[in-house]
Structure 1
Amino acid sequence: MQFNQFIIFGGCGFIGTHTANLLREKHPNAKIYIADLLADESKSAETNGTIDYQRVDVRNSIEMSGEFGKDTLIFNFAAIHRTPGHPDHAYFETNIRGAENVCDFARKHGIENIVFTSSIAPYGAAEDLKSEDTLPTPNTPYGISKLVAEKIHREWAAENETRRLSIVRPGIVFGTGEHGNMTRLYKGLKSHKFAYAGRKDTIKACIYVKDLARVMLAMAENEQADKIQLHNCCYYPSFTIEQIANTMLKATGLKRHIPYIPKKPMMVAATACGLLGGLGLGICPARVKKLMVSTNINGKKLSENYPLSYTLEEAFRDWYKDCGEKELV
């Protein structure tokens, strides 16, 4: 299935930026619309008309200039996602209302294909292995809002037999511009401020952002796929925090001994760091607790249908190369 136009809601964000880069590479003649609350509309003139930046707030009814239709593919990345970090109502206001407004926009313009980035948060926090068939039991406002948003997109797809929907549930997404968990891990390793928090075998499902972007496009363009696709997006099998840390050290040429700190002393240290502003690493009790809970996600279905291009080490090396082999940012 070929598309001539792409709309990226949340296109100024981390995943949106990498997706736009992939689209420019794979479809150089296509029109790309970056729809984002932070979009700088003046940048449209710099792209010779190939990329159109439009300021859009998905919490409100969406109006965009352009001619859209069946040849248009929507990527819906617009969301509040960092947790902890926002009041509970913000997740529902943006993630649920945004899903409704994006689907209404698609209805209005006869757009029949949407890729929606959900999350592994709808599975809830538990050590058990979760597949796409696992009953979601979200236990955070973010996870609840993402599961509701999935249902809203599914309702849109069910209204017409020609509509197609691709839902991805990524683990930790890492790469250039992430500024999240993996970046904090690297900074902690580099500055000798990272320690295993309570355990070394915590499973952390993750995926390289370039692989995620490629997978999402492949799902949308796959004419043989089911009308509604759902895939966990992570390595199979998932890696432990010890495997991730050691691979990152190897890929970036760092040599470090990583200490192990039992749970109680770690929480005391995290509380102290939190009072001191996290020491620039975002350290606080809530984040340390997250480190101790596995995100044990089964990526087998993805590996069978859309195999990843990068191993974990190759992904870290590619990220490092993109940063001039100086650091991971």
Structure 2
Amino acid sequence: MIAIFGGSGFIGTRLSFRFSQSGKLFQIIDKAPSGFFPEKVLSADVRDSLSPSFFSIPTAFINLAAEHRDDVRPLSLYDEVNVDGARNICDLARAQGIEKIIFTSSVAVYGFAPLGTNESGAIAPFNDYGRTKWEAEQVYKKWQAEDSQNRTLVIIRPTVVFGERNRGNVFNLLRQIAFGKFVMVGDGLNRKSMAYVENVAAFLEYSLDFKPGIHIYNYIDKPDFTMNALVAHVNKLLGKSSEIKFRLPFSLGLMIGSGFDLVAKITDKKFPISAIRVKKFCANSVYDSAIESTGFIPPVPLMNAIEKTVRFEFVEDHKNEQVFYSE
């Protein structure tokens, strides 16, 4: 039996579907209910100490639980969930004799990284999310080092994850394009690495077979599109002109984002536009990965993944179905 912490979320739900289809026994540990696997959920918060008698002893832990949005308040939640949660999971693993933990970290640990940053890249997070993901990695490494010959630690650092039902930054971009409200900020030549949720879930499942040791992998689906190419491709899928009609200089976009930040501070309201989101949109975020060396083959090519997502969200009718909110 495999315990999935944070299994009610976006990636956890896809992973649960894979486990269900392949006949793997699993349990979801989450403070939120699951809209798809309610009978599998044990209600718990990783911020709390977890009792060894809480559930049957599993064979492995997969930790997907995280605070990850840009607008989390109070900021202490990043440390409480991402770092203290890692400590609590490691304590439970010690108590139950678990020898395999798979942890989803993030490429955010690299910050605004140079093009082609791989797993050996410099650690330079620019926000609390990236910082606390890195600190959580150290917690898990300490756990593995206590019995390095027998314990397996897999750390997966995905880039931005997208897919059907997700309501994060990629969906917001696709929605703006679909409804003709998209405005390109900057020249659009910056490239973005992306990761399709089904492929991330498939690699999580694949990594259950890794042997004792520490295994660290960035997760990226190739190729890396420029923003111009991505927008043109989505327009084509929707039967629209591939021409990008409206563009804003980066400096003006950043000024608008900063204005929204000021209004948000005064009114205590959240807005979809902010200075950090403008910076992230216009930045290059291109990563490399050593995953090929494991023999893993993503089940869905990236072009197909984008088409499946666009069709599900903007062509087919899924208005009353569950969605997941993230960055």
Matched, 1:286 2:273: no
Give the 3 Å change call, closer, same or farther, for CA 261–327 of structure 1 in structure 2: farther
Matches of 1:260 and 1:61 in 2, distance apart?
Answer: 50
Structure 2 residue runs without a partner (length 5+): none
| TM-score, scaled to structure 1 | 0.85
Matches of 1:170 and 1:141 in 2, distance apart?
Answer: 17
Matches of 2:311 and 2:101 in 1, distance apart?
Answer: 32
Give the 3 Å change call, closer, same or farther, for CA 293–227 of structure 1 in structure 2: same
Q: Superposition RMSD on alpha carbons, in Å? A: 2.7
Q: Which amino acid is the alignment partner of residue 229 of structure 2?
A: Q
Matches of 1:87 and 1:281 in 2, distance apart?
Answer: 17
2:316 alignment partner in structure 1: 326
1:229 alignment partner in structure 2: 215
In structure 2, the residue corresponding to 1:194 is in which secondary structure?
coil
In structure 2, the residue corresponding to 1:173 is in which secondary structure?
strand
Contact 2:184 2:248 in 1 (8 A): yes
Contact 1:188 1:281 in 2 (8 A): no
Q: Among the aligned pairs, what percent are the same residue?
A: 29
Q: Deviations over 1:81-140 (max 9, x none)?
A: 111443322111110000000111111111111110000011011444311011211121
- The residue correspondences of 1:305-320 to structure 2 (distance < 5 A) are 305=294, 306-320=296-310
Contact 2:8 2:34 in 1 (8 A): no
Q: Aligned-pair distance for 1:281? A: 7.9
Give the 3 Å change call, closer, same or farther, for CA 320–189 of structure 1 in structure 2: closer
In structure 2, the residue corresponding to 1:239 is in which secondary structure?
strand
1:241 alignment partner in structure 2: 227
2:2 alignment partner in structure 1: 6
Q: Which amino acid is the alignment partner of residue 76 of structure 2?
A: H
Residue of 73, 97, 103 corresponding to 2:60: 73
Matches of 1:285 and 1:326 in 2, distance apart?
Answer: 33
2:144 alignment partner in structure 1: 157
Give the 3 Å change call, closer, same or farther, for CA 136–74 of structure 1 in structure 2: same
Q: Which amino acid is the alignment partner of residue 188 of structure 1?
A: Q
Q: Deviations over 1:246-281 (max 9, x none)?
A: 23333444445322221123234445666599xx98
Q: Which moved more, 1:233-242 or 1:267-276?
A: 267-276
- The residue correspondences of 1:52-63 to structure 2 (distance < 5 A) are 52-63=40-51
Contact 1:236 1:303 in 2 (8 A): no
- The residue correspondences of 1:197-276 to structure 2 (distance < 5 A) are 197-223=185-211, 227-255=213-241, 257-258=243-244, 259-271=246-258, 275=263
Matched, 1:22 2:18: yes
- The residue correspondences of 1:112-127 to structure 2 (distance < 5 A) are 112-127=99-114
Q: Aligned-pair distance for 1:327? A: 7.3
Contact 2:19 2:25 in 1 (8 A): no
In structure 2, the residue corresponding to 1:130 is in which secondary structure?
coil
Q: Aligned-pair distance for 1:322? A: 4.4
Give the 3 Å change call, closer, same or farther, for CA 227–320 of structure 1 in structure 2: same
Q: Aligned-pair distance for 1:203? A: 2.0
| TM-score, scaled to structure 2 | 0.86
1:136 alignment partner in structure 2: 123
Structure 1 residue runs without a partner (length 5+): 45-50
In structure 2, the residue corresponding to 1:205 is in which secondary structure?
strand
In structure 1, the residue corresponding to 2:16 is in which secondary structure?
helix
Matches of 1:237 and 1:316 in 2, distance apart?
Answer: 12
Residue of 185, 192, 216 corresponding to 2:180: 192
